[in-house]
């Protein structure tokens, strides 16, 4: 670790950047299924070892008390994340409180993640999912509804497949338990709190 | 350098600062670099231990090539800012460097064990500055006590250069010089403390009744 010449810096301005990202994450959760523009690349002087949006979320949300699970194609960044945030790495997704996946294909089944307990529903995992929300994201358009959404919101181009939709429906059914998710695509993030319903539009 | 065993045998009191493991990664770097407060003990046991300390270190010194990075980091972290910086400059032009972590201040938990062997307890928090840089593809990390970004940077640079084959020879002698300086300071403090040493003994009374 000491001799590893491949480590790269974190945020150019550590506190300002994590505050800005955190604020955006809060906004995303309070206005669910709405893609907020998030040009997180500018927060780094050098390209981080994982996609900038995921990297910024990781540096902002993770610390020494949050076991993190990284999907296989993100593992190259584990040294970097450990150096900057001293995060414990979870060997299996079910032990993590933060789950980062590079794409929906790498996402472990949601119901295998930490669901929280009846007494402490907040102890569930939070998922940060990359590889979505791209310009040509595709996927079926969905109607999002639930707390924080006035009537219904059509959510398009998110790149989520039917598998995810089905998993999310089960997640919603487990309320108040279940995971919360961020879709962290290139250049934007959207929040999917567990209270949100997604239905084919 | 494991002190606990000796401490138990010699029944001496020594206060050790141990930086709390702010994170796992740096903990590894630091386990061997435990800062010890320069608190002087006035017992003779202390003298003996100190001598041992020094002999051990002299032996290490003879095999300077195999000097471990933690030992170098310790010397950089404990030295005065001025002597560290001037020695670093004397090594030659410092190559361009990149911050992995610009100097940042924070509190670390100082933990101790009574007598070096008791239960671990939190003693206090101490202000520390840490810094990590990369020079010539080598990373250097430093944790120094107090609010001292300049020294943290210098110590991180020194640690990185120490790992660089082009500089390691010069840096090894810098480490030895700094250690010598630390030893002299320590010795001076010890002498100063010894000047006021008081021997307590029981006066004989009543036995010689002629």
Q: How many structural domains compose chain B?
A: 1
pLDDT at B30: 41
Residue-wise pLDDT tens digits, B180-192: 999 999 999 999 9
Domain range annotation of chain A: 14-200
Q: Which residues of B touch A4 (CB under 8 A)?
A: 139
Say yes or no for a CB contact (<8 Å) between A10 and B69. no
Which of the two residues, B199 and B24, has the higher pLDDT score? B199
Indicate if the pLDDT at residue B63 is higher than 50. Answer: no
Q: Name the residue facing B137 among A5, A14, A86 (closest C-beta).
A: A5
User: Of the candidates B99, B104, B140, which has its C-beta nearest A9's C-beta?
Assistant: B99
**Contact criterion met (CB below 8 Å) for A96 and A114:** yes
- In terms of CA atoms, which chain A residue is nearest residue B132? A9
Instruction: Identify residues of B whose CB sits under 8 angstroms from chain A CBs.
Output: 22-26, 28-29, 69, 98-102, 104, 132, 134, 137-141, 159, 163
User: CB A120: neighbour CB atoms within 10 A?
Assistant: 9
Interchain contact A7–B (C-beta under 8 A): yes
Question: A74 CA to chain B: closest CA distance, Å?
Answer: 19
CA B103 to each of CA A79, A83, A191: distance values in angstroms, whole numbers, following the listed order: 20, 15, 34
Task: Answer yes or no: is B201 within a domain.
Answer: no
| pLDDT above 70 for B6 | no
Tell whether A2 is within 8 A of chain B (Cβ): yes
- d(Cα B44, Cα B41) in Å, to the nearest integer? 8
Return all residues near B179 (Cβ < 8 A) that are at least 6 apart.
B57, B61, B75
Q: Quote the pLDDT of residue A190.
A: 94
* DSSP label at residue A79: H
The winner for highest mean pLDDT among B37-41, B59-63, B90-94, B202-206 is B90-94
Per-residue pLDDT band for B70 (boundaries 50, 70, 90) equals: confident
DSSP state for residue A115 in the 8-state scheme: B
Interchain CB distance below 8 Å, A2 and B139: yes
Give the range of the structural domain holding residue B105, as residue numbers without chain letter: 4-36+43-185
B197 found inside a domain: no
Q: B134: which chain A residues are within 8 Å (Cβ-Cβ)? A: 5, 7
Architecture of domain A14-200: 3-Layer(aba) Sandwich (3.40)
Question: ∠ at Cα A185 (A180, A121), nearest 5°?
Answer: 5
Give CA B202 to chain center in angstroms.
Answer: 39
Please give the residue of chain A at the shortest CA–CA distance from B163: A3
Give the range among A24-28, B115-119, B158-162 with minimum mean pLDDT. Answer: B115-119
Using DSSP, state whether A68 is helix, strand or coil.
strand
Could you tell me which of B108, B113, B79, B101 has the C-alpha nearest to residue B19?
B108
Q: Tell whether B207 is covered by a domain.
A: no
Q: In what order do the strands lie in the sheet with A153-155?
A: A153-155, A142-145, A197-200
Distance from CA of A86 to the nearest CA of B (A): 5
Residue in chain B lying closest to A88 (CA): B24
Residue at B174 is within a domain? yes
Report the distance separating Cα A136 and Cα A196, nearest Å: 24
HEC profile of A145-191:
ECCCCCCCEEECCCCCCHHHHHHHHHHHHCCCCCCEEEEEECCEEEE
ipTM: 0.75
Whether B204 shows a pLDDT value over 60: the answer reads: yes
Best residue of B20, B23, B134 to probe chain A, by most A CBs closer than 10 Å: B23
B131 token code pair: 């810094």
Which of B20, B24, B67 to probe the A interface (max A CBs under 10 A)?
Answer: B24
């Amino acid at each position: 670790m000491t001799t590893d010449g491949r480590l790269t810096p974190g945020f150019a301005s550590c506190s300002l950047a994590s505050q800005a990202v955190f604020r955006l994450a809060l906004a995303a959760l309070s206005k669910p299924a709405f893609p907020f523009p998030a040009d997180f690349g500018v927060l780094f002087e050098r390209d981080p070892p994982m996609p900038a949006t995921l990297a910024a979320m990781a540096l902002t949300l993770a610390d020494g008390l949050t076991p993190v699970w990284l999907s296989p194609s993100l593992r190259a960044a584990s040294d970097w994340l450990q150096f900057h945030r001293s995060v414990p790495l979870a060997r299996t997704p079910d032990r993590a409180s933060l789950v980062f996946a590079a794409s929906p294909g790498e996402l472990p089944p949601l119901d295998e993640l930490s669901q929280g307990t009846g007494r402490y529903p907040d102890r569930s995992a939070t998922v940060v999912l990359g590889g979505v929300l791209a310009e040509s994201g595709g996927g079926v358009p969905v109607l999002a509804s639930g707390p924080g959404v006035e009537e219904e919101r059509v959510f398009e181009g998110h790149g989520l497949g039917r598998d995810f939709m089905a998993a999310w429906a089960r997640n919603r059914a487990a309320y108040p338990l279940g995971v919360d998710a961020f879709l962290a695509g290139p250049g934007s993030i959207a929040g999917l709190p567990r209270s949100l319903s997604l239905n084919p539009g | 350098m494991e002190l606990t065993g000796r401490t138990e045998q010699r029944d001496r009191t020594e206060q050790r600062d141990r930086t709390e493991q702010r994170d796992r990664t740096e903990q590894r770097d630091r386990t061997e670099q435990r800062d010890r407060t320069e608190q002087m003990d006035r017992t003779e046991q202390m003298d003996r231990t100190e001598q041992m300390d020094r002999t051990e270190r002299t032996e290490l010194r003879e095999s300077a090539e195999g000097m471990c990075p933690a030992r170098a980091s310790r010397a950089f972290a404990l030295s005065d800012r001025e002597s560290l910086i001037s020695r670093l400059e004397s090594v030659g032009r410092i190559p361009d460097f990149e911050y992995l972590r610009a100097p940042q201040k924070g509190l670390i938990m100082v933990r101790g064990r009574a007598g070096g062997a008791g239960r671990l307890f939190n003693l206090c928090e101490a202000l520390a500055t840490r810094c990590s840089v990369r020079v010539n593809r080598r990373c250097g990390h430093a944790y120094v006590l107090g609010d001292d970004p300049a020294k943290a940077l210098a110590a991180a640079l020194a640690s990185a250069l120490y790992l660089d084959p082009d500089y390691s020879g010069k840096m090894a002698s810098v480490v030895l010089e700094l250690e010598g300086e630390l030893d002299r300071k320590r010795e001076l403090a010890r002498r100063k403390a010894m000047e006021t040493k008081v021997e307590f003994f029981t006066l004989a009374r009543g036995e010689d009744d002629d």
